[in-house]
Amino acid sequence: MASGGYEMERGQGGETHQKVPAAGPHDGQGHLTTNQGIRVSDNQNSLKSGARGPSLLEDFVLREKIFHFDHERIPERIVHARGSGAHGYFEPYESLSDLTKADLFQRKGEKVPVFVRFSTVAGGAGSVDTPRDVRGFAVKFYTKEGNWDLVGNNIPVFFIQDAMKFPDLVHAVKMEADRAFPQAASAHDTFWDFASLMPETTHMLLWAMSDRTIPRSLRTMQGFGVHTFKLVNEAGKVSFVKFHWKPVQGLQSTVWDEALKLQSADNDFHRRDLWEAIEKGDYPEWELGLQVFDQAFADAQPYDVLDATKIIPEEDVPVRPVGRLVLDRNPDNFFAETEQVAFCPANIVPGVDFTNDPLLQGRLFSYLDTQKSRLGTANFHQLPINAPKCPMANFQRDGQMQMHVPKGRANYEPNSLSAHGEEPGPRECPVTGFRTDPGRADSEEQGDKLRVRPELFADHYSQARLFWRSQTPSEQAHIASAFTFELSKVKMAQVPGRMIANLRNVDEELARRVAKGLGLSLPEANPAARAPIDMKPSPALSIQKNMLDTLKGRMVGILIADGTDAAALSSLKQAVEGAGATPFLVAPHIGTSLSDGSVIAVDGQLAGSPSALFDAVAVLLAPDAAALLVKEAAAIQWVMDAFGHLKTIGRNDAAQPLLDKAGVEPDDGITPLDGTFIQKASQRQWAREPKLRLLA
């Protein structure tokens, strides 16, 4: 029998009871219920004492609904708050049993589910996608032996060498403590004050000021594990390893002005690009590569392989491709998946292990603690029962239930704010401060417990010099211009000169160009703790030297108007699609009449579809339309921006007046709408740049 809609089943003693279906999330079918499973009769009106009377506290449906709404948000991440994620799989090319016993590397072609989260670092969850910033690249492997989190960035090095400095770095780069701006930007006083006082940041600063931090797409940036890890095989043999993710579509970046205009055109440009690529089946793909080496190699290098501010040049240890990562499914719910996913570098599987990299060791603690903090408060020590009864002063700030009101900008150390007339905050004291008993560690190899760094960590400039010398002249101009722009925003007079004095240890020409751009005399070089050495340039460090000459996966904007030749447009679209790209039609009006009398709905209206959205552009106009568009500011700006962003521009003869009005000068990147355009459309026209802007 059935009762109340539930099937009855008989127990072992002969009694009967209801077989109730298991509770679970609402699937869109059946009755609306409360979280306790009680069916709701009216979800539109609260319970009242009479039609005009007050609402009643006994209305548990109202109370539960409002209560849950009030608590829907959780604290955002301190860094990497703005993220985009996707599901996919990892597939090894071969067995790596010679290197590791990790199960996911044992069998060729066996797919392992993954979830990947890309993120910016400095901005909040509501900031934009395209600032100059490092990008997080975190991969969670759901293996048979448990979850392995490879939590990295799109840059292989980091600003600091020891986790002790991480809070200071983040405090310095985030919004300034007394004014809560600028958002998602490092072009301000406190970041450059800190960076100029920390020479170990120099190598990372070269990367940060390069085009690596203004990527074109999340799909066209590299990922790195940053640290040196260990791989352990079944026999117990240990190898050192660095992890690389290389995009199958190749590296792509934007130019600075283009990145700025993308912010105004689409705050969600990267998030939308990732989502739409997956939705249309153009699945993003990366190769996982390993740099594997032993202790003998490590000992022979002029740098410490456990130093997170250093790379191992690929020319010294080639990157071995071992598998592929494919993202083929968007999240079903952003909050439940992308926002709530918790990555932790301490999550590893047998066959992968840690090294003594001091930055990594700090991360092993920090990430777990971070996840807990998102559910509670970091300020429990301010409660009376927990508060110290002696003076307390440090640079820790903010958090839930903050009962102190710190004043001023000093929330990082070292700082030179006193030179700016501000209170610099407390300082360490080696004499009276707590000192750990040196004691012997568990093994003789590890030695005494000391707050020190290895000698080679003191070389802060050699690899920064390597990075600079590995760039093309165009990329070097971008780096020098980025330093000049960001330091121009610094109001503390002592900071720009101090930073330039550090740059002299990298390259005299770089320092001279930045000093000239800021109108400063070239200062004396700051003493280097360890004299830099010259390393052989590494072409692998350059974006421009590693760009793929392909249109696959890119988008070509085609500007048309009433009267555009229908046959020519059809031919152009076929050529673009044949090259693997997506044509995107832009016109002054959504409904546009072609030469054959047909009316088509274009993909975007001119005012809302700036050329910054596209990788290359084409202008296909009838003479009458061109005569009108030379008077249309949006059309002139559309062409002007494409030219200024160094994109290939294809045009028919009738469109030439619009190009002339936009100030487009002939060069190799201005082509007719034939095979030449398709051939050059994948290329950024770097040779054009010196004619368009005053680079440092």
Active site residues: 80, 153
Tell me if residue 263 falls in helix, strand or coil.
Answer: helix
Beta strand 6-10 pairing with 16-19: antiparallel
Question: What is the rounded distance in angstroms from the CA atom of residue 488 to the CA atom of residue 499?
Answer: 12
Contact 466, 505 (CB under 8 A): no
Tokens representing 20 are: 């109730």
Compute the 3-state secondary structure of the chain and give helix, strand, coil in percent, each to the nearest 5: 30, 20, 50
Helical residues (DSSP H) of 118-254, grouped into ranges: 166-173, 189-197, 202-208
Write the DSSP assignment of 172-189 as a string of letters: HHSS-TTT---SS---SH
Supply the DSSP symbol for 352: E
Specify which residues 140 forms β-bridges with: 115, 149
Question: What is the rounded distance in angstroms from the CA atom of residue 686 to the CA atom of residue 51?
Answer: 72
Question: What is the rounded distance in angstroms from the CA atom of residue 366 to the CA atom of residue 346?
Answer: 10
Contact 188, 336 (CB under 8 A): no
Beta strand 582-587 pairing with 555-559: parallel
Specify which residues 91 forms β-bridges with: 324
Residue 317, C-beta contacts closer than 8 angstroms, at least 6 positions apart: 291, 292, 293, 297
Beta strand 591-593 pairing with 599-601: antiparallel
Tokens representing 251 are: 């590296």
Residue 239, C-beta contacts closer than 8 angstroms, at least 6 positions apart: 99, 230, 231, 232, 233, 292, 293, 294
Question: What is the rounded distance in angstroms from the CA atom of residue 96 to the CA atom of residue 112?
Answer: 15
| 604 burial level (CB within 10 Å; 0-12, 13-18, 19+) | middle
Write the DSSP assignment of 674-690 as a string of letters: THHHHHHTTS--GGGGG
Question: What is the rounded distance in angstroms from the CA atom of residue 330 to the CA atom of residue 339?
Answer: 13
Tokens representing 348 are: 């590893």
Which bin fits 425, alpha (ψ -120 to 50), beta or left (φ > 0)?
A: left
Residue 364, C-beta contacts closer than 8 angstroms, at least 6 positions apart: 344, 345, 346, 354
Question: What is the rounded distance in angstroms from the CA atom of residue 647 to the CA atom of residue 641?
Answer: 9
Write the DSSP assignment of 371-404 as a string of letters: HHHTTS-S-GGGSTTT--SS----S----TT---
Tokens representing 463 are: 């690899």
Is the sign of the CA dihedral 289, 295, 297, 301 positive or negative?
positive
Residue 521, C-beta contacts closer than 8 angstroms, at least 6 positions apart: 515
Specify which residues 115 forms β-bridges with: 87, 140
Question: Which of 238, 249, 342, 231 is CA-nearest to residue 287?
Answer: 249
Phi then psi for residue 513, to 5 deg, are: -65, -40
Contact 190, 419 (CB under 8 A): no
Q: How many other C-beta atoms can be found within 10 angstroms of the C-beta atom of residue 148?
A: 23
